[in-house]
Every structure is written in C-alpha cells, then in structure tokens.
Amino acid sequence: MSSSTTIPLLEHWRTAPSTDTLRSRYDASAHHWHENLARLGQLHDYQLLFESQAVRDRLNHLDPTSHILDCGMGTGAFSLALLDSIEQPAHISGVDISYPMLTHARQILSDRCATLDLRWGNIRRLPFADASFDAVIFAHVLEHMADPVATLREMVRVLKPGAPLVGSVTRQGLGQVLMAMRWHNRGYTYHQLDAFLQAAGLEAAKPFDYGTGWSKWTCIAVIGRKSG
C-alpha cells in the first residue's frame, strides 16, 4: 500500500483503545458473547457463509488430517461454522488476546475437533512456523489492526502454498459507526478490502456479500489463497 493510504489509517488508530483496553473489554464480554452472536443471527450467517459455493470450493481439500488456524478466535463461532460445513473433525488452532474468550471456545469446540490448540496472544505475531496450516480463518479482527495489510501478511505466512484464507470484516456504514462507539472498530469498503488482499499477496482474492441476515448489511466476507 502507498504511504498516502497507510498514514491516515495509522493516524485514526491513535484514537482507538490500547491492546490492553481492548482485551479488558473482550474479557468482560466473553460470558455473553456467543449468546449475543446467536441473538443477532450471526451464528446462522456464519454457517451460511461456509456453506456457500464460493467458500466450499476453497475448502473441499480439507479432511480429518487438516490443520486450521482461527485468528482472533473469540468464542470459536467461526471455527464452529467451518466444522459444521465440512461435517468431520479437523485439527483446530486458535489465537486470541482474551483468556475468557478462549475458555468459552474450548467449551464449545473441544468435542468437535480432532485436536484443539488454543493460544493467548496477538495475531500480529503468530506463534507458528511458516506454511503450517491448510486454511486460515478470521472474523472481525482487521477492524482493530493499525496495519491490516501486515496482519494479513502474517496470516498468509503460516498458510501452506495454495491454501485458502477466509474472513469476515465489518462493512463501513451506520452499523459500524454505532459499534465503534464502544469498540472503536473501523469499517471497510469493498475497494479497501480488495486492495488489502492484493497487497498481502493473495491470489484469486475477492470481497463478497453475505447472502442474507444481519451480516448482509453490516459485514463483508473475504476469500483468497496463498500463491504456490
């Protein structure tokens, strides 16, 4: 990305909460986070996303030996939707800044995975070797990143060549403005997300609409694959 694009993003980030403040807010929200996602219909929307043809075509290589990484895992809702779509166990790893979120993720996912490896940490510095994963997924973490392209590149680093990245991002608009009153999260446009995906080195990358529900108006799905 050019400096003219990056600098305004960094300037905006100075008004956002620190990592410690953001962590404390997610810690405090963890006990009702999954129920809120269900109430908003987002759990259902995630399931529909992973059942869509565009995503299924990118994940049809997954099998019980596959290793999948969920970046900014939260309570594991995005991983759960993926597992439901492939109807088989897989090896799931997750990284999040909130211990309580990871505790709930373990409760939700422990009987659905071949193995479950949860790590407390920052997704800007993933604790995994290059080319470790058959897929990487994320939901609503780029909105908190000072440098979304660098964060995407870190996700791409741990992908195996040819493996897919699937994510969900908050759409720029009224819904994002209301959420930002508490979370100070950004919202992005299709054009911005397309530029981020291309700059991160992903092939066949594109942002696209959710088909239905609350997420159709407030979120954008993204998909791409690592070259090779």
Q: What are the backbone angles phi and psi of residue 183, rounded to the nearest 5°?
A: -100, -10
Domain boundaries, the chain: 3-226
Residue 26 pLDDT class (50, 70, 90 cuts)? confident
pLDDT averaged over the chain? 86
Q: Could you give the strand order of the β-sheet that contains 115-120, starting from the edge strand earlier in sequence?
A: 115-120, 91-96, 67-71, 135-139, 164-170, 219-226, 202-208
Nearest to residue 141, comparing CAs of 131, 154, 130? Answer: 154
What angle do the packed helices 77-86 and 99-109 form, to 10 degrees? 20
- Tell me the longest C-alpha to C-alpha distance in the chain: 47
User: How far apart are alpha carbons 18 and 146 in whole angstroms?
Assistant: 11
Q: Are 154 and 126 in contact (CB under 8 A)?
A: yes
Query: Which CATH class, in words, describes the domain spanning 3-226?
Result: alpha beta
Structure tokens at 55: 């995503």
Condensed to tens digits (0 to 9), the pLDDT of residues 119-162 reads 999 999 999 999 999 999 999 999 888 899 999 999 999 999 99
Residue 23 pLDDT class (50, 70, 90 cuts)? confident
Does pTM top 0.85 for this prediction? yes
Percent of the chain with pLDDT over 90: 64
Residue 6 pLDDT class (50, 70, 90 cuts)? very low
Q: What average pLDDT score do residues 15-21 get?
A: 68
